[in-house]
Every structure is written in structure tokens, then in C-alpha cells.
Structure 1
Amino acid sequence: MKNKNANKGKHLTLEDRHNIEDALSQKFTLKAIADRLEKDPTTISKEIRRNRITSRRNSTTDIIGCEKRRECTMKNICSKSCHHLCKKCPTLNCLKICPNYSPITCQTLLRFPHVCNGCARINGCRSEKQYYRAKVADANYQDLLKSSREGIDIMPHELSKLDDLISPLVLKGQSLAHIFANHHDEIPCSERTLYNYFDQNILTARNIDLPRKVKYKPRKKAPDQAKRAQPHRLGRTYDDFKAFIELNPETSVVEMDTVYGRKSGKVLLTFFFRKCSLMIAFLMESCTQECVKTAIDRIYDELGTDVFRNSFPVILTDNGSEFKSPESIEYDAKGLERTKVFYCDPMSSYQKPHIEKNHEYIRYILPKGRTFKTLTQEKVTLAMNHINSAARASLNGTTPFKLAQLLLDASLLEKLSLIEIPADEVHLKPALLK
């Protein structure tokens, strides 16, 4: 036995509509059709009335009669030479120009079945004829289903208010994650919906203004190559790094790298603290081992022995020529160990992914190919302050600076002139340094 509620809440199918059309032709009652399809009678009635179509009238003589025909006394409408009453006109042409014409409405259309399907008086009827056709009804349903999912579910005044909030911040270089983290109470939709709005070009800002709206190329797997023994890597390989961290799981890791402007010019020495995502950068005159040593000595002298050791216990870097003097990084001028240096495998920058990814923020402010000739350490620090004040989705909407306040030595932030920028003042465009 079929469950009467099996089809409850389900949409009518094309097969259901063919059944309705057949049942109307056979003069089934409304309840009989509803029972046949296991639907509520109201559903069937609404379906018929919503999708009925008016038949086309090709013949000029096939004119709908007038409701006032019996009591009509008008004449001479079509011409002054015509002396017949309009209601006795054999052609009914006067109905086309009569100002009092009111077409006859069949009472069958006002109650069930609401259409002329199966009507026995169809041939002699001069009323407007309407029919239910399953294919037409299903096409109307599909169009409605499609159109109901188009557009956006937001009122015009709400969209205008949202645009006034979002677009100026995006044009300043802020990411949607940063904006949503600081204005989620004012935004009437999810972060994913905001990206959809950008895809539909309904805001002043566009996809091209979003700093990370790009497609990433699939990573190519480097071919296996015999690793050459290099003196600077002895005891400092990536396998050695993993073994050290396994024995000392609480040890903080700092990733180190360099960012180039133009070749043979100034470069940035960058550090990324994994546990809080804070990034700091220092300007070097050139990309050499001596400049790296000078920069780290300067940081060491600025922070002091204890703060430096606590903040930089382990440094993970790549195999760049500027880093191939590990002793000058690991030991101070007195020969005391201040940190440990480990190297990623050759051609394996993905082993220090955090700093590689975070360099994107530097490129928002200092695009590739731009010279660092006019940069000063003050400008570099300003850029880092704005970058570290940008909220990250990976940090649940908080900023690296706020986490650094909790997880790093407070004197590190103070001595390196790192300060938090208010959320709405974060600027990640080249204009920041102009």
C-alpha cells in the first residue's frame, strides 16, 4: 500500500502534469485527481489556474461574444448606412469597435476545472477558451525554478550600504577576510557571499581589486636528483630539522628568506614567526653573506641575548648563497650560540610555505620589478605594521600582531618599532609608501 504522505512537499513532475491533463480530459473531479497523484486538492487547483493558456483565434469570425448582447440597443456603429441593431449583426464586426463591448466569461473558468479541457460545449461556445497543457506547464515551472535562483537576496538600500562599507576598504588593499573580521556585525551576509557579489560585479570594487583573487598554478614536482654533499648543510638538513623538532616539540620556529627588488640592488631580509604569523623585515644593501650577518647582528644587539634566543631559537631557511655561512648566523661575536640554522631540501621551498605565502603581502605594497633604492628601514617597518595588522581567515579573523602580543616577548615588538594599525586604516597598496 502506498504511503499517502510519500509525495508530500515534493514538486510536481512532467509525468504528474500529463496525468492532470489526461484526468481533466476525462472529467475527473478535483479530489479524484488529487488522490491519484497523492497531493492536496489545493495544489492541483493552483497548478491548473497558474498554468492555463488562452487559445489562439485565427478566424476573423471567431469572435468572443458580448455579455451585454441581449439588452444592447446600439446601432450605426460600423457605418451610418447600417440600420441593424448591433446585437443582430451577422458578422459581429461591430464588436471590434463598440465602446461598451464586454467579452463573455464562461462560468466554468471561475470554478473547477478552470479550463476547457473535456468540455462538451466547446464547439458552440463563443467565450474565451483556456486550456491546461502539461508541456507548457512544465516549461513554466522550469523557468520559474531558474529565475528564482538568479540575482541577489538583498534589498537595494542594503546593497548600497554594503557597497559604501566594503569597496573603499578593498580599494585600500584590504582583503575580504580582514574586512569581515572587523565588520562582521555590519555585514548582512557571509564572507563566501561577498566573493559571489564580486563575481557578479554588483559592487564598486571588482575582482581585480582583490589582492588574492588569482588562480594558483599546480605545483610541479621536482625530479629526483642526487643531492650533492654541501658543507653548510652537514647536520642542518631538513631531515635533521624534523628530528630536532620531534625531540623539542615546544621549540618555536622562525622561517627566513629574502625579497628582491631589482637585481644588484637593495633587498629585504624577512623573518616569519610560525606560532603567531608575525613577519618582520630588514633592509640590506645587497644580498650577500656579509649583509645577512650584519642584519642579524643588528637585531641581536637591539633585542639582547635573552630576548633574541627566546624569539629565534630555530631558523629554517633555503639554500640561497647569502645563507651559506651558518656559523655567522648561529654564533655571536664572542662565539656564543644564539640560534640554530636548518636548510630546506634543494628546490623545495614548500618546506617553508608560510613565509613564501606571506611574501604576497609585501608584493601588494612593493610589486615585483620595483626598485628598493628609495626604501628606508622606517618605510619597511611601516609596511610590516600594516601587513601584521591585516586580519587573516587562517587565524580565525584575528591579526598576527594581536597573536604576537600574546605569544612573543613584549620587548621584541617595542624594540623593533612594531605597532598595530587600526583596522580601517590598513593600507596594502603601493601608495602607502609614497
Structure 2
Amino acid sequence: MERAAKKPIGYQKHITYELREKIEAGLKSGLNKAQIAKTIHKDPTTVAKEIRNHRTPSGSPSKAPFDCANYKKCTRGRECRTSHEVFMECTDYTLFKCNQRDRSPGVCNGCTKAPSCRFSKYYYRADVAQRAYEYMLRDSRMGFNLTYSEAQWMADIIKPELEQGKSPYAILNEHPELKISEKCLYNYIEQGAFEQFGINSLALRNQVKRRKMPKVRANQYRKRKDSGYLTGRTFKDFLEYNPLVAAQYSINHSVKLYDGAERPDSEQAIDHPVGYILMDTVYNDVSNGPFIQTFKIMPGGVFLAVYHDEKTAEEMVNGLDYIEKLLGPDVFINNIGSILTDRGSEFSLADEFEDRESGTCRIFYCDAMHSNQKGSLENEHLVLRYICPKKKDLRKLGLVSQEVLNRAVNNINSYSRKLYGGRSLYENTAFMMPEIYEALKCKGYSQIDKDKVELKPSVLKKK
């Protein structure tokens, strides 16, 4: 099989001014587009596009302004020269056509009839084409690819959504009619495309800031001594108890957890539910509270929270009891096989956590200083902080009861997530863990219309 002919150097480069001069000279000589393309080592379609895009009208305006082919035989005295209405009603009008001007080569360069032709003419000129090309090259890299009306239309959609605390991804997921990418929307906002409509970079929920960590002495952090309740309940024990989670953790974090025979078999028979709960506590004032005990039920991902006035180990056990009653003992024990939390003193009553009304549910603890081992829940804390910001009196903001906290939970669970392909936590749980979702739905936890989702402190004061 013969090898295809090698394309000449510069075949895919931009057309230069010298090449444009050769195109103009070729047109004046009467060469067609294929012949010109061969001369300058370009594809004929490239030459055709160059001529079509950069040809310019020339010559004095025609006395008959509408290029009528029947102007010599006109029976109406050429009244169209003075009246547009007459032209629109004329049944004799026929548009003049010229093969050289309209088809090939597409301009009047080299036409012997051009000096006496009374119709509209187009010429290709190298200097004019070069100026147009240079302007387009600069203009395409400047400003925004938006008209004023397009920018205003987009701002009318985006502004109220940003005021509700939504991210650009959530806005685009709920409004596909915007037809731009997430990065493009970030660029428009940060570069000021919508400033005149009241949207600037400060409207974005998160502005990335690089903060230099202070230098600390190595002996400031001391390894905690394992207490008795941690025996058999470490993070490694959690992975051995949940081999499917271990396999996914190994992939996500690119780590080798076990050597040889120690590695648990992810396909082995599991005699307990594969679902598990991530648990933690969020608060602003350690002395006065309130304290929010947070839960994330995996793999569905639904987020739940329990309101407390005190942060004691007994209160945290009561919080898990609340979740068990919320789901129902049967649903809980059929779907939840284990709990993973941190080593905070409020979670030290391991035996009480495991002794459920519906049966036994194992509890495990993350390694010291490794909150990333329950990173999915930590990410939900970031969303919770939009409603319950740090360094604020949460009671003054309106967080005074479980009922108020449930409103915040409903908004968090109804918010579109990029991780789940635009689905909310409720929608993902309905797909992954339908029994859990139905139990929550019966207790008033349900999807909010995504246009009405709000991630602001004002949610706490709404009725």
C-alpha cells in the first residue's frame, strides 16, 4: 500500500500577507481556486474561505439599487429607485446572478466586464484582508463573547440563585438553557462580565485563598494513647469489617493498605448490611452550644443532623437513638451495619453506641488527626457552614430547635451535587438506598424544588 504524499511545510499554518498577495495576483490572472491553492500549498477550501470571508464590495453604487436583472425591460419606469414599496410589489423583479462573482472564484478580480458592469461588485484585496485578519485575531482574545442583552438575560437568572447561596455548578445544573460551562461562568463573574448587573466575584460563595500555615514545633503534637474502647475499633478494623469500602478507599487514595494474605476479599460473603454511618459534631461555642450531631448515611449520602444543648457522651448516644427511631428499628438494622466517627471524648461510649434497640451495630474510630477518613461528612460540614457560619451565635441566627435544624437539612439534601452527576443527596439516596429514603419521606424529610433551595443563614428564621 502506497504511503500518502507528505503535506508541504506550512500546510496548516495561518495565511500570511505574502500568501494573500499571491491569492490576489492569481485572481487578477484568472486562476481558479484550485490553481491558486496549488501555488500557495494550501487546500482549495482554505482559499475559498479566505476569499469568501474577506471579499469587500467596491465600485460606485448601482443606479438601480436592487440589482434587477430585468432593468433594461422594466415596464414600470424603474420607480423602484425612489420607492421601496414599489420594489416590494414588483412582480418583474429578478435578482441578477453572476457565476464569477457568486460562485467561482467569488470576486470580480480579473473579470474583463468589470469596468462596464453596473451591478454590485466584490473584490479581494490583500491589504484589506490582512487588516481584517489581524483585527479578528486581536478581538477574539479580548472582552467577552456576549452581547449586552445576552449578559443581562444571564444575569437575571444567575443573580437570585447566587443570592440563595448556590454554586455556579448548581446554577448551571438547574438552568441548562444558559448553555455555558462551569469554568466559563466562573470566568465571566471573576472578570466582571456581569458587574453592571450587580454580580461580581464577591458574589461567589467561595473565593480560594492560599494561607501560609504557621511553623510549629514537632513536639507540639503528641500521639494520643489509645483508650480501651478503641481496641478492635480502629480504622483498619473498619476496613476489614467493610471490604467493599476498603477496596474503594484503596482506589480513591492510591494507597496499599495490606500486604499479601492480610488483604480482605472484597467479594467474600458479608453477613451484615453494607450501609454505614459517618458521625461527627459541629459547634461554634464549646461552652454554651448549641451542638449539632451530624450523620451521613452511606453509600446513599443523605445528610442528617440532631440538635443538642450539651456535648456529652450520653447526649451523643441519644442522638443516634433519635436517628434509629426516625428510620425505624427494622429499616435501621437492615441497612446500617457500622458507624465511623472520630476520637472525640463525646463518642467514647462505644458499647452504648453498639447496643441498639434493633440489634448490634458496630462502631469504629478514625485514626488520630485523620478526619479525611470520613471526608464525605467533612464536605457536608462545608455546606452546613453556609447556613451556620463560624464565629456566629447560632441561637441568634435562629438555630433554637430540632425543627429549625430540619429545615437546614432539607435544603442541604435538596442541593445539586457535582459528585452525583447533578443529583441531590435525596435523589441519590432514593436510587441507592430506597428503603432509607422512603422512611425519611414519611417523617417529613423530602426534596425541595431546586429553584427554591437556599444555603444562607436566613433559612433558620423562615417558617
Same fold (TM over 0.5): yes
Separation in 2 of the partners of 1:41 and 1:424? 48
How far does residue 45 in structure 1 lie from its aligned partner after superposition? 12
Give the match for residue 187 of structure 1. 178
- Tell me which residue corresponds to 2:187: 196
> Can you list the C-alpha shifts for 1:118-174, whole angstroms capped at 9, x where unaligned?
xxxxxxxxxxxxx989xx998985553232233333443333222211211121112
Describe the superposition over 1:8-38 as per-residue Cα deviations: whole angstroms up to 9, x where unpaired: 8734466xx468789999xx97969865532
Contact 2:284 2:394 in 1 (8 A): yes
Letter of the structure 2 residue corresponding to residue 423 of structure 1: K
Contact preservation (8 Å) 2:20, 2:130: no
The secondary structure found in structure 1 opposite 2:242 is: helix
Aligned partners of 1:30 and 1:210: how far apart in 2?
A: 60
Name the TM-score, length of structure 2 as normaliser: 0.64
Where does residue 418 of structure 2 map in the other structure? Answer: 393
User: What is the TM-score with the length of structure 1 in the denominator?
Assistant: 0.68
**Residue of structure 2 aligned with 1:403, choices 412, 416, 428:** 428
- Which residue is equivalent to 2:115? none
Higher relative CO (Cα under 8 Å, sequence separation at least 6) belongs to 1
Aligned-residue offset at 1:330: 1.0
What do residues 238-278 of structure 1 show as CA deviations (whole Å, max 9, x unaligned)? 10011111154961121101111222121100001221221
Q: Write out per-residue CA displacement over residues 200-234 of structure 1, whole angstroms, 9 at most, x where no aligned residue.
A: 222343332232443577999x9897663321210
Of 35, 40, 46, 1:37 maps to 40
Aligned counterparts, 1:22-421, within 5 A: 37-39=40-42, 43=47, 141=133, 144-184=136-176, 186-203=177-194, 204=197, 205-215=199-209, 228-246=225-243, 248=270, 251-264=274-287, 265-332=289-356, 337-373=359-395, 374-406=399-431, 407=433, 408-414=435-441, 416-421=443-448
Question: Greater CA radius of gyration, 1 or 2?
Answer: 1
Letter paired with 2:407: L
**Aligned-partner Cα distance in 1 for 2:45–2:429:** 66
Query: Structure 1's 400 and 20: CA in aligned 2 closer, same or farther, altered over 3 A?
Result: closer
Output the CA distance in 1 between the equivalents of 2:213 and 2:455: 27
User: What is the deviation of 1:424?
Assistant: 1.1
* % identical equivalent positions: 29
Letter in 2 for 1:193: C
CA distance, structure 1, for counterparts of residue 6 and residue 133 of structure 2: 24
Change in 2 beyond 3 A, CA 1:23/1:163:
closer
Residue number in structure 2 paired with 1:58: none
Amino acid paired to 2:366: C
Q: How many residues align?
A: 354
Distance change >3 Å, CA 219–CA 396, structure 1 → 2: farther
Query: Matched residues in 1 for 2:426 and 2:407: separation?
Result: 13
Do the aligned partners of 2:54 and 2:132 also contact (CA within 8 Å) in 1?
no
8 Å CA contact 2:426, 2:437 repeated in 1: no
RMSD: 4.3
Q: CA deviation at 1:320?
A: 0.9
AA at the equivalent of 2:179: P
Question: Which region of structure 1 is more displaced relative to structure 2, 288-297 or 5-14?
Answer: 5-14
SS of the aligned residue for 1:393 comes to coil
In structure 2, the gaps of 5 or more residues are 56-107, 111-124, 244-267
User: 2:235 touches 2:367 (CA, 8 Å); kept in 1?
Assistant: yes
> What CA deviation, in whole Å up to 9, does each residue of 1:157-203 have, x standing for no partner?
3332222112111211122222222221x223233322232222223
Matched-pair contact (CA < 8 Å) for 1:274–1:354: no
Note if contact 2:277-2:340 (Cα within 8 Å) is conserved in structure 1.
yes
